[in-house]
A and B are shown apart, each in its own frame.
Chain A
Amino acid sequence: MTFIAKPKLTHPSLPQNALGLTRRAYEGALSTLCAGCGHDSITAAIVEACWRLSLEPQNLVKLSGIGCSSKTTAYFVSGAHGFNAVHGRMPSIATGANAANRRLTYLGVSGDGDTLSIGLGQFCHAIRRNLDMLYLIENNGVYGLTKGQFSASADLGTRAKKGETNLQPPIDPVLLALDLGATFVARGFSGDKRQLVPLIEAGLKHRGFALIDVLSPCVTFNDHEGSTKSYAYTREHYEPAVFADFVPREAPILVDYAPGEAREVALHDGSRIVLRKTDSDYDPTDRAAAGAAVQSRMNSGEYLTGLIYLDPSEARAEFHQVNATPDEPLNALPYEQLSPGAQGLRKILSRYR
């Protein structure tokens, strides 16, 4: 961390987005994480993605639980709404907020502990509900705030800083999400923003639950030899399966791909994701095959990354369709419509007598 505030001064030729804002307008408070933390890079990637999408800061909702990762929502888009939930309970808050106002963009930032240990149940149900949000896991395999114990995502055989070996198998959020029917499943690496930024853009624009599991080395407790989540190990064992370019609705198609090399997927709002495969046999729209590929790479100690699975039809009913929520945010509905009134209440109660 640092105690010196980042000067407000900017590069004079910093580009502006459609709202006339520079990237700097999407920054947040000074990070208090360790210097070199992968999470800070992810924060920078989120800043970049929000800027590129020209998101209006007040239309973004940042949600998090507890942990190093969950602190980071303070470090980007200070003009957005934010809610720090209790440990592992961010999906409930996200569900409530989403139910009340579906017009906002929901970004949950969580960690491997917050998601895969204490919050595993909530995480699973958010996927099952197909809650319209981007759920980003900053995954470093250790409990950083409590001094580096193995987390539920620590790989079998990985070594702790003091030398112990992890003997329990990891819970892999990507496999879990594929299993539970998530419609957008991706994995990235904090050290590769070129891959990560478009994934975040696409994830924010995807309708339904989007998961990005980001490998984010803990520079203090998990960046040593023998760790399977260090910067060096991740770079060495990191295998992009699919590159996803996010193309905003307004942008013309500038990229000239050879036939068969790329596949375009339109999102509900007219923007597009262009998928480019690194292996011609890989099909990112085949859930079973994607799961098998992730599993087989994992067995050989590698991380398959990129946009691993995408439901191109966006056909699965998402939370609002299932629950028939109104289009209008609740705060915009007239009081009479929100409240059944004494007579209406009596009517409802009578149903239970």
Chain B
Amino acid sequence: MHTIAPAYGGLETFGAGRCRTPSGLFYCTCHTPARGWLGGGAPLALSLCTLIQPSNIVDPTDTSNPDYYHRVVDCQWACPAHTDVPEYIRLIAQGRFTDAYLVNRQSNVFPGILGRVCDRPCEPACRRGRVEDKPVAICRLKRVAADHREELSARLPKIPPVKNGRRIACIGAGCASLTVANDLLPLGYEVTMFERYEKPGGLMRSNIPAFRLPESVLDEEIGMILGMGVELRLGTPVESLRALLEQGRFDAVFVGSGAPKGKELRLPGRDEASANVHIGISWLESVAFGHIGHIGERVLIIGVGNTAMDCCRTSLRLGAREVKVMARKPREFFKASPWELEDAEEERIEIMVNRAPKAFVLERGRLAGMLFDCMEYELDARGRIVTERVTGEQFLPADDVILAIGQENAFPWIERDLGIAFDKWDVPVVDARTFQSTRAGVFFGGDAAFGPKNIIWAVEHGHQAAISIHRHCQGEPLAERLAPAVTLHSRKMGMHEWSYANDYAPLERRLMPHVSLKERFKKLNIEVELGFSAQQAAEEAQRCLNCDVQTVFAAKLCIECDACIDICPVDCLTIAANGPEAELRARLKAPAVNAAQPLYVSGALPQTGRVMVKDEDLCVHCGLCAERCPTAAWDMQKSDIHWPHAAEEAHALEARKPKIA
């Protein structure tokens, strides 16, 4: 039995079709149609031919699948609305802020709002965070585009003066409904929007404090959509869906009423203390609409999600002096986004961990504080809680308590006999792709569809529901919608010239400037974040790695000179004998450990039958492989990911209609 020399381990094939068996140990002695022999390596552990049998190798990567290149653009892949992040960052770098804003608006509709308060799933996904510490400040660059853009009303979608005769009802005037209107109005639909409050915006307005999201930004971006001709009925809650449907006025109904019900905490003393115990989202809403303007000096916030962060910071602005956020579990279990925690802690909010609420304590019929169990947890190696125990209890005095432990959707106004099925948790059954309920023509989106998520998810729900509504109104099957597509265009301009900035900029993430702690509490609506200056934006934009400029490989041109492999700064390329994927991953120049990121595997190379393998995980898109390639087997090509919206869907449907001569 031979083993593989560990130092130069692994197997290499050389000379396609040259499986000769003259003599010696190093030739494959297998008689199947083998493709090589071992060159310069080590004695064989296995017959090479067993390794390269068709059943045992990785098939060449199908890069025509639009998902392949889309996944390489990690930010765009992570964004629910598939915002073309690298493209708008490039436009910002060029100072084309209006264009950058419009690229954003195309997919996420509310760049100014999302540039401040997005949950930014793109940032943890950002490749920069893998090769360095911190991701690109994608969200804040979005805000830059909004802050510095010019007047753009002429560039917004045109609304046809002649309508198509279809009427859509949107229930709730939040981000999901507004997106539906944004997508359908340019197609000639008439949209009526019912809103229970006196102002549109939904949770964006009622739950996000003005010191994070100024009212002017909200009004402007919502106004762009309303200005397209929404029939907005403010102060008009829909009390009965049956009544609305029976009117027969609407061809489709979109329910975007959010998740407006805050969760209750049933503990002893809750009812007696109710005057000073508030439900987080209702309380924020009352603050937003000016119904509440004051809170006690000592405030306890129960829960440690993003709503809790808004509640504690709002409390500080309403007169509280000592605000504590009470967390049941240790910090790694916090639901709040790290940057929201940071911002709260900057304002000297104390976050207490391992305190489980036990009872509301009253003195003379009034809330005096709360009693907590002190918890201790044992975690396993993967950080999951194995056991928990109570080590004692603690009383904390408080004038007010705010409950921020979650929210749910509630549909008391939907009759249960309309053909809209509800599941066992009493939420409507909604198709995850079409967003249609079990009743044709009734659609759900945003938090109303699958429970509380965030703005960017609601926007994408709105886009998808708009496609469905259009297909529904055209009598087309909802599921047969346009598929996403990717197009590639070379960035090569000439010798050593590429039409993108591929020089790696070793810059650190820019810090967001804040209003001083002295100033910011003076008024409730002083926006804390000042936004990047043009200089900071230009520097931050340099950090983007241009992941959408793809490394595209043509196996038939490769002469296996190793130039790309030698120059790659992050060792993501290997030429190796094909093999089973797990084994191949371990054999690469730098082992590909992130199994979630697919490998690129080429077809057999002309000279030796080996394959080019690229681990996409750490590629910095510097283009040196293409720059060093003598035969242009590597090229840098910009991928455009086409994620269809209602306009494209309408266009495709129109194109397919038979033409009448």
Q: Which residues of A contact B (CB under 8 A)?
A: 2-14, 34-38, 40-41, 43-44, 52, 190-198, 217, 219-220, 223, 231-232, 235-236, 238, 240, 243, 245-247, 251, 254-258, 261, 276-280
Contacts and interface: CB of A to CB of B under 8 A. Distances in A.
Contacts of B622: 4, 6-7
B155 interface: no
A232 B563 contact: no
B24 A36 contact: no
Given A4-B503, A235-B15, A279-B23, A35 B628 contact: yes
Nearest to B15: A235
20 contacts: A2-B496, A5-B503, A7-B504, A11-B572, A13-B590, A13-B593, A35-B563, A52-B7, A191-B560, A191-B561, A194-B40, A219-B559, A238-B39, A243-B40, A243-B41, A243-B42, A245-B7, A245-B42, A246-B7, A258-B2
Interface of B: 1-3, 5-8, 12, 14-15, 23-27, 39-43, 130-132, 496, 502-504, 506, 559-563, 565-567, 569-572, 590-591, 593, 607-608, 618, 620, 622-624, 627-631
A10 B562 contact: no
A231 B559 contact: yes
Contacts of B5: 245, 254-255
Contacts of A276: 25-26, 43
Residue among A38, A217, A231 with the highest chain B CB neighbour number at 10 A: A231
B479 to A, nearest CB: 43
The 6 closest A-B pairs by CB, nearest first: A36-B630, A195-B40, A7-B504, A44-B566, A194-B40, A278-B24
Nearest to B575: A191
Contact of B607 (A7, A232, A240): A232
Given A14-B571, A35-B629, A243 B26 contact: yes
**Interface of chain B, helix or strand or loop or mixed?**
loop
B565 to A, nearest CB: 8
Contacts of A37: 561, 563
A2 B628 contact: yes
Nearest to B567: A6
A41 B7 contact: no
B627 A192 contact: no
Contacts of A44: 562, 565-566
Contacts of A43: 566
A263 to B, nearest CB: 13
A192 B607 contact: no
A126 to B, nearest CB: 27
A235 B631 contact: no
B10 to A, nearest CB: 8
B40 to A, nearest CB: 3
Given A34-B630, A36-B561, A4 B502 contact: yes
A41 B506 contact: no
A9 B627 contact: no
B12 A194 contact: yes
Nearest to B628: A35
Contacts of A235: 14-15, 560, 607-608
A223 B590 CA distance: 30
B590 A4 contact: no
Contacts of B130: 12
Given A2-B628, A194-B12, A278-B23, A36 B567 contact: no
B627 to A, nearest CB: 4
Nearest to B569: A7
Contact of A13 (B41, B566, B591): B591
A2 B627 contact: yes
A231 B39 CA distance: 15
B5 to A, nearest CB: 5
A280 B26 CA distance: 11
Contacts of A258: 2
Nearest to A305: B40
B575 to A, nearest CB: 9
A35 B502 CA distance: 18
B41 A280 contact: no
Contacts of B24: 277-280
